[in-house]
């Protein structure tokens, strides 16, 4: 069973997750991190940025990797996931640009690009810590249902449900990219520590499914986290409203 921590508020969830990163950073100043985007991590990234600004944490020697990126958004496209991390985290934490990584989703050969991105991660000794959000269908990164435990970085067609969930960040549903490059389940599971965060009532059903989960189910990708020895799920009270903890 996964280790769950439930906080009363989104803010407390965010601070706790940021503290996990800061704790790992104390032991390893050149921490190798995998970072998510979306609505959930905004508070955590703000707290990590605050820690950096106020001298509580030094991210200047860390390495940070996007967990996924939409095809075909350029790195500097305001809607790209790289821009998201730049805006919410890197610029505040003064992470050197050369220490930040994202798949080049405009590469001519995207399959070769996936292999290249995976190799960069391996060359950095794999992730010390991976922070994950969770999709309503149980996806982590963009490992959608029908995932396998050993997959590495790969191209993915986003499920209709994921496209609909992400429409809120775009002018219309038609503007939401339909494909992405994502870390594989295997890439994520090689991380030394994994923290999954979830907030809000919209995540209550998937969080209950994760809480009740006792076996691997490729149709529920988050279930693969059961294979990892060091996973902490941090949810706020609303996300945990369908189970007792």
Binding mask 76-95 for ligand F6R (x = CB under 6 A): -----x--------------
The yes or no reply on residue 187 touching ligand F6R (CB under 6 A) is: no
Cα separation, 120 vs 99, in Å, equals: 11
The yes or no reply on residue 133 touching ligand F6R (CB under 6 A) is: yes
How many residues appear in the chain? 245
Tokens representing residue 186 in the block: 């295997």
Question: Cβ 188 to ligand F6R, closest distance in Å?
Answer: 10
Our answer to whether residue 144 is catalytic in this structure is yes
Name the residue with tokens 């991210």: 59
The yes or no reply on residue 184 touching ligand F6R (CB under 6 A) is: no
The yes or no reply on residue 145 touching ligand F6R (CB under 6 A) is: no
- Annotated active-site residue in 69, 118, 137, 236: 137
The yes or no reply on residue 141 touching ligand F6R (CB under 6 A) is: yes
Q: 55's torsion region: left (phi>0), alpha (psi -120 to 50) or beta? A: left
Tokens representing residue 158 in the block: 């986003």
Query: Among residue numbers 22 through 51, which ones bind ligand F6R (CB under 6 A)?
Result: 36-40
Q: How far apart are the first and last CA of the chain?
A: 13
Of the two residues 58 and 75, which places its CB atom closer to ligand F6R in the complex? 75
Q: How far is CA 166 from the centre of its chain?
A: 15
Name the residue with tokens 């350029």: 74
Q: What residues are annotated to the active site?
A: 68, 137, 139, 144
């Amino acid at each position: 069973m996964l280790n769950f921590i439930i906080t009363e508020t989104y803010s407390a969830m965010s601070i706790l997750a940021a503290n996990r990163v800061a704790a790992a950073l104390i032991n390893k100043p050149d921490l190798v991190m995998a970072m998510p985007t979306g609505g959930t991590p905004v508070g955590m990234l703000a707290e990590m940025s605050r820690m950096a600004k106020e001298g509580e944490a030094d991210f200047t020697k860390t390495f940070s990797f996007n967990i996924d990126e939409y095809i075909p958004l350029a790195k500097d496209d305001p809607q790209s996931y790289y821009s998201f991390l730049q805006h919410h985290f890197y610029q505040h934490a003064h992470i050197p640009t050369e220490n930040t990584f994202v798949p080049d989703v405009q590469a001519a050969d995207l399959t070769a690009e996936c292999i290249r991105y995976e190799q960069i991660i391996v060359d950095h000794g794999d992730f010390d810590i991976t922070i994950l959000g969770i999709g309503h269908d149980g996806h982590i990164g963009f490992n959608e249902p029908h995932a396998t435990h050993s997959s590495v970085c790969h191209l993915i067609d986003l499920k209709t449900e994921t496209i609909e969930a992400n429409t809120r960040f775009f002018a219309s549903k038609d503007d939401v990219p339909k494909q992405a490059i994502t870390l594989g389940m295997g890439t994520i599971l090689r991380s030394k520590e994994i923290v999954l965060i979830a907030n809000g009532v919209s995540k209550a059903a998937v969080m209950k499914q994760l809480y009740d989960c006792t076996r691997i189910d490729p149709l529920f990708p988050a279930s693969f986290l059961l294979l990892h020895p060091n996973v902490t799920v941090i949810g706020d009270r609303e996300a945990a409203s369908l189970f007792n903890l």
